[in-house]
């Protein structure tokens, strides 16, 4: 069986991590894979490092006619049994190219918890052979958009939880001693990730916890704006921008609390990684997040866009370290049991096998 994947993102985010987990997992099961991705993209480089064939192709928006023509030629040459589309733009371009190239089975993965608006948007989900929803909330939105139930498959995103978990942290590198309370987040720097409300919460906590530090990992279009916001709030010392990091276990080991303040979230791969590391979590009660964070059991939930509530949750966890450790331990056990890469890969294989019969 030959699977061709298309991912149109140049930067690295949770969706790209999932693409990588899936391709590597399929490759390990003896299934042939190839990836089509933008030139110089993070996903292209990482997958090439794994020894998987990568075809670099620019994709400028979801109505890039030139890209459709070139993708059609590539797919005719590769002749995949299944075409797997990982991003929104890849979905539109890949669906058109795949049909023109005569690909028999096309699968799209939907990761966003945004409502599917407009007839064209809904149509592209009804025209693929199967849509994978990464959470129950995403599944419900697909069904609400009119995608037939028999064409929607729920396969949760996954996290690779090493056993034992890697040791080491970044405190020495960042000049943070053991007395410093460190909270952190890892997310693309976009408005929907809610960094603004996290920064405001840190300003509220500054007087009560003068040695508090916030680590912000990730890159994105809002970086300059967020740096300016940190300066306006007087948080130049408290907020440390780390940019893109590959040493996620060491980053997570540095934290006393992990925060995800998203305004929208399909599931939250960063939450899976934080839970895997046993970090206490505070996250917004939106999208698929409650499928990971069970309030009071595997973390604490808060309303979106509510910096006061976030400050209260952080205060509780900082001042009650034993309860915080218990939440982190519960989250780790829950995620390792339900969101493993092995389970995700096997679910995709069953789906592909059913389509190519």
* Topology match between the domains 2-158+340-356 and 171-338: yes
Q: Domain 2-158+340-356 in CATH: superfamily?
A: Glycogen Phosphorylase B; (3.40.50.2000)
pLDDT at 244: 92
CB atoms within 10 A of CB 98: 26
| Contact between residue 4 and residue 83 where contact means Cβ atoms under 8 Å apart | yes
| Contact between residue 153 and residue 238 where contact means Cβ atoms under 8 Å apart | no
- CA atoms of 250 and 91, how far apart (whole Å): 34
Query: Considering the entire predicted model, what is its pTM?
Result: 0.85
Q: Which CATH class is domain 171-338?
A: alpha beta
pLDDT at 122: 80
Model confidence pLDDT, tens digit, residues 287-322: 999 999 999 999 999 999 999 999 999 999 999 999
pLDDT at 194: 98
Q: Considering only CA atoms, which of 177, 132, 188, 181 is closest in space to residue 158?
A: 132
Which residue ranges in the chain fall short of pLDDT 50?
A: none
CB atoms within 10 A of CB 222: 18
pLDDT at 163: 86
| Contact between residue 186 and residue 192 where contact means Cβ atoms under 8 Å apart | no
Indicate the domain borders of the chain: 2-158+340-356, 171-338
């Amino acid at each position: 069986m030959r699977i061709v994947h298309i991912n149109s993102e140049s930067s690295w985010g949770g969706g790209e991590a999932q693409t990588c987990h899936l391709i590597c997992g399929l490759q390990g099961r003896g299934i042939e894979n190839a990836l089509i991705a933008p030139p110089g993209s993070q996903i292209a480089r990482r997958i090439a490092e794994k020894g998987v064939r990568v075809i670099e192709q620019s994709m400028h928006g979801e109505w890039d006619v030139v890209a459709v023509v070139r993708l059609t030629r590539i797919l005719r040459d590769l002749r995949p049994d299944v075409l797997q589309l990982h991003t929104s733009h890849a979905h539109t371009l890949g669906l058109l190219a795949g049909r023109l190239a005569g690909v028999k089975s096309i699968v799209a993965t939907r990761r966003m918890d945004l409502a599917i608006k407009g007839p064209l948007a809904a149509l592209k989900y009804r025209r693929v052979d199967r849509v994978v929803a990464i959470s129950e909330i995403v599944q419900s939105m697909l069904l609400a958009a009119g995608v037939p139930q028999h064409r929607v498959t729920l396969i949760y995103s996954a996290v690779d939880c090493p056993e034992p978990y890697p040791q080491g942290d970044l405190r020495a590198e960042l000049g943070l001693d053991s007395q410093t309370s460190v909270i952190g987040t890892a997310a693309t720097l976009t408005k929907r990730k809610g960094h603004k409300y996290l920064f405001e919460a840190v300003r509220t906590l500054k007087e009560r916890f003068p040695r508090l530090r916030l680590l912000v990992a990730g890159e994105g279009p809002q970086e300059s704006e967020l740096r300016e916001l940190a300066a306006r709030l007087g948080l130049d010392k408290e907020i440390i921008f780390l940019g893109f990091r590959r040493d996620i276990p060491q980053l997570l080991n540095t934290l006393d609390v992990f925060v995800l303040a998203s305004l929208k979230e399909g599931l939250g791969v960063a939450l899976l990684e934080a839970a895997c590391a046993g970090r206490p979590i505070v996250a917004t009660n939106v999208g698929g997040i409650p499928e990971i964070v069970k309030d009071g059991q595997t973390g604490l939930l808060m309303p979106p866009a509510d910096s006061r509530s976030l400050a209260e949750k952080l205060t509780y966890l900082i001042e009650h370290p034993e309860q915080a450790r218990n939440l982190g331990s519960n989250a780790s056990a829950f995620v390792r049991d339900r969101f493993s890469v092995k389970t995700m890969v096997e679910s995709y294989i069953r789906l592909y096998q059913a389509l190519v019969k």
